[in-house]
Amino acid sequence: MRTSISSLQKIYQNGEKFTVLTCYDATFSQVLEACGVDVLLVGDSLGNVIQGEETTLSVTLEQIIYHTRCVARGSEKAFIMADMPFGTAQLSPECTFKNACQIMAAGAQMVKIEGGHIMTDTIQFLTQRGIPVCAHIGLTPQSIHQLGGYKIQGNTESSASRLFSEARALEQSGATMLLMELVPAPLAKQITAAISIPTIGIGAGVDCTAQVLVLHDMLGLYQGNKSKFVKNFMAESCNIQDAIRNYVKAVKAGHFPDKAHEYQ
């Protein structure tokens, strides 16, 4: 039986942690599932690690649908979440719903949407119509040109207040989970404590409910710039499966991320 939203919420309510890794194909979905990864994220990071692009902006809806189908075919138990790529969720709520339906039909159980206050009406529209949403705040790679690069977010009083307000608003709009990227660990801890939905951190400290990394980063395969929050789990492992299991163990035990991989 495939992991459900209820299963993940039970983990959250028990004060435990769950694990997320990006996945783009059937083979790795089998491997990640066998190694205990709870959630497979079909991320638009495939633009970087699969297609060799500098940003995620060129990833299309059709490509996300294709890779979601591949991941769904290869797994039986893991929860599947998929990104809504650039330009597919920034339209009207009705158009966003149409795009999300195609991703769900391909095998996703949840879509992830970048953006804060501006996305609340859209998220409410989707969730009221049966599409679970993981909201994504902090560094939002689809807005990389507006943000001026891959920079930490929420490190000033005003930006921290904005992120806190966005988190509450997104929860109220019906978001089932909240992903925070490149957010100071103390702020991510405050947000996690203030809302009643699971939080997923990437560069957001150890106090989030779950952690996510790009698969190619945690295996030390991606040759691009390495962010501070990235840990190469292959460096201390004998093979890919051991590296993934070590990641799962470290996250569930609260050992990753440590101080060396978080922002203050």
The reply to whether 181 belongs to the active site is: yes
CATH assignment at residue 245: 3.20.20.60
Query: Is this prediction's pTM over 0.75?
Result: yes
Burial grade of 201 (CB within 10 A; 0-12, 13-18, 19 or more): buried
Nearest to 187 by CA among 159, 212, 218, 215: 159
Average confidence (pLDDT) over 76-89: 98
Please report the pLDDT score of residue 100 as a whole number.
98
Task: State yes or no: 45 annotated in a binding site.
Answer: yes
Task: State yes or no: 114 annotated in a binding site.
Answer: yes
pLDDT at 154 over 80: yes
Task: Give how many domains the chain has, as a whole number.
Answer: 1
Do 246 and 219 form a contact (C-beta atoms < 8 A)?
no
d(CA 200, CA 204): 8
Percent residues over pLDDT 70 in the chain: 100
Average confidence (pLDDT) over 49-66: 96
Please report the pLDDT score of residue 148 as a whole number.
75
Each residue of 18-48: pLDDT tens digit? 999 999 999 999 999 999 999 999 999 999 9
Crossing angle (nearest 10°) for helices 185-194 and 157-172: 30
pLDDT at 101 over 80: yes
pLDDT at 74 over 90: yes
Average confidence (pLDDT) over 220-243: 92
Task: State yes or no: 62 annotated in a binding site.
Answer: no
Please report the pLDDT score of residue 145 as a whole number.
78
Task: State yes or no: 242 annotated in a binding site.
Answer: no
Task: State yes or no: 207 annotated in a binding site.
Answer: no
Task: Please tell me which residue in 33, 166, 171, 181 is annotated as part of the active site.
Answer: 181
| Owning domain of residue 83 | 5-261
